Each structure stands twice: as structure tokens, then as C-alpha cells.
Amino acid sequence: MNRFTAAFALFLIAGSAWAQAYPNRAVRIIVPWPPGQATDIAARVVAEKLSQQLGQPFVADNRPGAGGSIGTDAVAKAAGDGYTLLAASSGPISIMPNLQKVPYDPLKDLQPVSLIAMAPFALVTHPSFPAKNAAEFVALVRANPDKYTFSSSGTGATAHLVSELFNSMAGLKARHVPYKGSAPALSDLMGGQIDYTLETVASLAGHIKAGRLKVLGVTSGKRTGALPDVPTLAEAAKIPGYDIGAWIGYAAPPGTPKDVAIKLSSEIAKAMQTSDLKERYLALGMDPASSTPDEMATFLRSEQARYGSIIKNANIKVE
């Protein structure tokens, strides 16, 4: 064994031992959103489990601002020692870089760790809307170009892009009405000023159960646990391949040891199997998810390309 081979072997052994001892102090999770937002809640639920399983505190640190880019950039520039993580999500990672300049490259400046949640959307209308199901809805809107309106929480927001993909794949032409947030958009939908919207199941579930909104389908490729009786739009509206929603995950600064990322992803997968976590996610309108670091890296590349294509095809621009 030559000197280089011996040194490399010692490096691998030392790295493996370091990963086994990880963590030996508190781990900070930067959440680039305010407390109470979906990414914040999902990240905290998983952090509690990691604290229990690994015996060290996993502490949320909220750094909101600029659509999530401030906190995301802070992690991209942090030390890759395994003690800073990012509560990552679709907006600042998959969408924003396609719409405007951001101070980080999400595919190069972050080490993927694991997905932790998928947040499906649902197609809803006012209860008086004439279509009884998704197939009737598509037929009616398709037959009346530009007659109907759909709302979103803002131009370029995830809800807007989810809707644009639905309209495109279903062959619909409708007028987009952007709002500053989902609450006013839903308020006008329930008031009859807007014809339809696609929003997160988490924000819609209460209105659906109270009868204030009529649900026609969910955007995920399979039914969601939060609305188990509601079909997917792929099946109900006959749009094969329509499968989209928001995602939430954990990422780390560049240079974070791969062994640490793998250890964390393994612990997250274990946490996702616990009944109490599943119940909490169900109440939040989310579906549990997990992945290896490599699987998440592949997913991120695919999502950025897909949202880039939606933005380009719909000619979406943010002022």
C-alpha cells in the first residue's frame, strides 16, 4: 500500500467514524419562512423526531423574506459541517430561479438530504358551478374559451404554475386573476367573483368540509390521505400524466459530508413510518415523503426543468 492509498483509506475511516458520531451538538434548521407557514410546520414536525432519534436538539431558526431566498442563501453560504440545515421548498428552489435572479444556484449550492413532505393541490369551484365532476368541468370550460376566470395567490406562485399546467394539459383557455395571497383569492371564489382555483389541500380542506367549496379532483398522481374520497385530476378529468404539487425537504450547505446527509435521510425515512407523524401530516393536508440524497438531487433537477418549461410556455414574467 503506497502512501497516498494509505492516507486515503485513513481519510475514509475517519470520515465514517465522524458520521457515526454525528450529531454531538445542536443542529440548526434555517426556515426561510415565518412561523406557522407550511414549510415551517412540516420542518418542525420532522425536527422533533430527529431530536428524539439522534439525542441532540434540532432547532428551527426562522429567516423569512424575499420569497424564501434570504434564508436559502444563508444556508448556501454556511459551513458544510452538518450543523446547519435548510427547510427547503419548491418556491425558492424550483420556481424562483426560473423567474428572477437569485444569489444562489439551487442545484450547485446546496447538498440535498431528503424530501419530507408533498403538498398536493385541489381543483375547487363555488358550490353553484354547473359542472358536477372534473370531466364536466373540463368540457364546459374548454367549450367556452376566455369565459371563465381562475385565481392564484400571485403571478409566478406555485398555485399559478400548477393551474397553468392543468389548463394547458386539459386544453383550457381561461383568464388568470392574481391576488396577494391565497386567503383573498379563496374569499372571492367563495363569493362568486372567481370561477375556479387550484390551491393546496391544506388551505382548502376546511372550506370543502364546510360545503363552502366544491372539490373536483387533486393534482397529485395518487389520492391524498387528507381527501381520500377525492379522485386525482389525471383520472377524473382524463389528463394522463398530470401530477404536480408543492414539495418540502431538508438540504444542507455545499461540502456537507455525504455520510452525514445519508445518515439524516435514513433517520427521516424512519421518522416517516411513525403513526403520530403521519397523523400530524394528515391534519396539515400533507403526505409524508422521504428520499435518499441522490434521489432528492434527481428530483430537484426534474422539478426545476418542469417549472421552467411551464413558465416559458405560459410566458410568465414577474415585474
Q: What is the pLDDT along the chain (319 residues), one digit of tens a residue?
A: 555 555 555 545 545 555 579 999 999 999 999 999 999 999 999 999 999 999 999 999 999 999 999 999 999 999 999 999 999 999 999 999 999 999 999 999 999 999 999 999 999 999 999 999 999 999 999 999 999 999 999 999 999 999 999 999 999 999 999 999 999 999 999 999 999 999 999 999 999 999 999 999 999 999 999 999 999 999 999 999 999 999 999 999 999 999 999 999 999 999 999 999 999 999 889 999 999 999 999 999 999 999 999 999 999 998 6
Let me know if residue 5 belongs to a domain. Answer: no
Helix (H) or strand (E) holding 149: strand 149-152
How many distinct helices (H) and strands (E) make up the chain? 13, 10
254 and 112 within one domain: yes
Domain count for the chain, please give it.
2
| Residue 6 C-alpha from the chain's centroid | 44
Helix (H) or strand (E) holding 309: helix 293-313
Given a contact cutoff of 8 angstroms between Cβ atoms, the answer to whether 56 and 83 are in contact is no
Domain span at residue 184? 120-236
Domain end residue (candidates: 182, 203, 236): 236
279 and 267 within one domain: yes
114 and 26 within one domain: yes
Let me know if residue 15 belongs to a domain. Answer: no
131 and 112 within one domain: no
125 and 230 within one domain: yes
pTM recorded for the entire structure: 0.89
| Residue 171 C-alpha from the chain's centroid | 25
Given a contact cutoff of 8 angstroms between Cβ atoms, the answer to whether 112 and 296 are in contact is yes
102 and 146 within one domain: no
Domain end residue (candidates: 206, 236, 266): 236
Give residue-wise pLDDT tens across range 80-98. Answer: 999 999 999 999 999 999 9
Give residue-wise pLDDT tens across range 148-168. Answer: 999 999 999 999 999 999 999
Q: Would you call the peptide bond into 23 cis, given omega within 30 degrees of 0 as the criterion?
A: yes
